[in-house]
Amino acid sequence: MIIVFGSINLDVVTRAARIPGPGETVKGDTYQLIPGGKGANQALAAKRAGSDTMMVGAVGSDAFADLALGNLQRDGVDLAQLRRVADPTGIANITVDDSGENAIVVAAGANSKALASQLDGLGSVQGFLLTQNEVLEQETLKAHAKAKQLGLTTIHNLAPASKLDREALGFIDWLVVNETEALIVADGAGISTGSDAVKAARALSQKTGHNVIVTLGDKGAYSFGPAGEHHGKALAVEVVDTTAAGDSFTGAFAAALDQGFAVADALSRASVAGSLACTVFGAQPSIPDKSAIDAAS
């Protein structure tokens, strides 16, 4: 089973010819309200990739909450440990340009009230705890500590990017970072590798003794650490929207490990899932299911 502790948002997505610079207004043709949040996206990705999944987080009591939870409910993600609070449901304002690149501003809202104590009701479970950086850092750290007590394997996606202290790293079995995040966390650990994210990930793994995965867009992903060194190739696809590509990767990777795939195969399946997510507009609508991953792997 995969337990995701993290954010639940409603994404306000606007298409525009280009992403505006500071102080600039750019006209967009239309906008959509799409369920999102890195936690919810990764929970949905793990579920669609074939694993039993629980989402642990917080939403408001507003109309946005039902919209944000819609896909999780329809796909059968367990919401028994969900918390409803007085704060408004979190939102993300996303601008997607004509090349498929995006710029995102996240307002946490109810996500700041997600508590690690929500995991106390799990009882005896086996599997994985999957986390990100869109809820309070101290609660995520507490969730990691709780996961180790329960015997869960921990996977942390360091997004949005931040430095990790040694205590946090001590609880993480798998650290997933993109190129920018790899350099930030390596710098925070006193590792200097210039602008080479692959070298940074390898050095970080060597220094901490943990498994580190770095995602590289169309170059796939590399993993380093006790589980060995592996490369997962990305698919050659026409990019429509990169939103949730990283979440699709991380959720699919967790699901593959949960289903008993070897690390090399899990990395390949995750890279395929991330590639497929780039071919569809929107966050959760783009997340592929197991049959699509199987067919392209």
User: Would 97 be classed as within a structural domain?
Assistant: no
- Maximum pairwise Cα distance, the chain: 53
Please, what's the b/e burial string for 63-72 (b: 16 or more CB within 10 A of its CB; e: otherwise)? ebbebbbebb
DSSP lists the bridge partners of residue 231 as 222
Taking residues 218-224, what's their average pLDDT? Answer: 97
Please confirm, yes or no, whether 247 is among the known catalytic residues: yes
- Helix/strand/coil for 136: coil
For the stretch 82-112, pLDDT in tens is 999 999 999 989 898 988 788 888 899 999 9
Residue 172 has a pLDDT of 93
DSSP lists the bridge partners of residue 130 as 4, 155
| Residue 183, domain CATH | 3.40.1190.20
Nearest to 264 by CA among 296, 295, 220: 220
* Amino acid letter, 294: D
For the stretch 120-165, pLDDT in tens is 978 778 899 999 999 999 999 999 999 999 999 999 999 988 887 7
For the stretch 71-80, pLDDT in tens is 999 999 999 9
Which residue do the tokens 């949960």 mark?
258
Domain count, the chain: 1
User: Would 46 be classed as within a structural domain?
Assistant: yes
For the stretch 20-59, pLDDT in tens is 999 999 999 889 898 999 999 999 999 999 999 999 999 9
User: Would 23 be classed as within a structural domain?
Assistant: no
User: Would 129 be classed as within a structural domain?
Assistant: yes
Question: Which stretch, 65-74, 118-127, 195-204, has highest mean pLDDT?
Answer: 65-74
User: Would 68 be classed as within a structural domain?
Assistant: no
Taking residues 267-276, what's their average pLDDT? Answer: 98
Residue 74 has a pLDDT of 98
User: Would 227 be classed as within a structural domain?
Assistant: yes
Backbone angles phi, psi at 176, to 5 degrees: -115, 125
176 token code pair: 């997933």
Whole-number average pLDDT of the chain = 94
Residue 223 has a pLDDT of 98
DSSP lists the bridge partners of residue 129 as 3, 154
User: Would 28 be classed as within a structural domain?
Assistant: no
Which residue do the tokens 């395929």 mark?
272
Look up the domain containing 152 and give its range: 2-6+38-63+75-87+109-296
The answer to whether the beta carbons of residues 251 and 271 sit under 8 Å apart is no
Q: What dihedral angle (degrees, nearest 10) is formed by the CA atoms of 137, 140, 146, 150? A: -160
* Whole-angstrom distance, CA of residue 174 vs CA of residue 201: 12
Q: How buried is 41 (Cβ within 10 angstroms: 0-12 exposed, 13-18 middle, 19+ buried)?
A: buried
Backbone angles phi, psi at 137, to 5 degrees: -60, -40
The answer to whether the beta carbons of residues 58 and 83 sit under 8 Å apart is yes
The catalytic residue among 11, 173, 241, 247 is 247
User: Would 103 be classed as within a structural domain?
Assistant: no
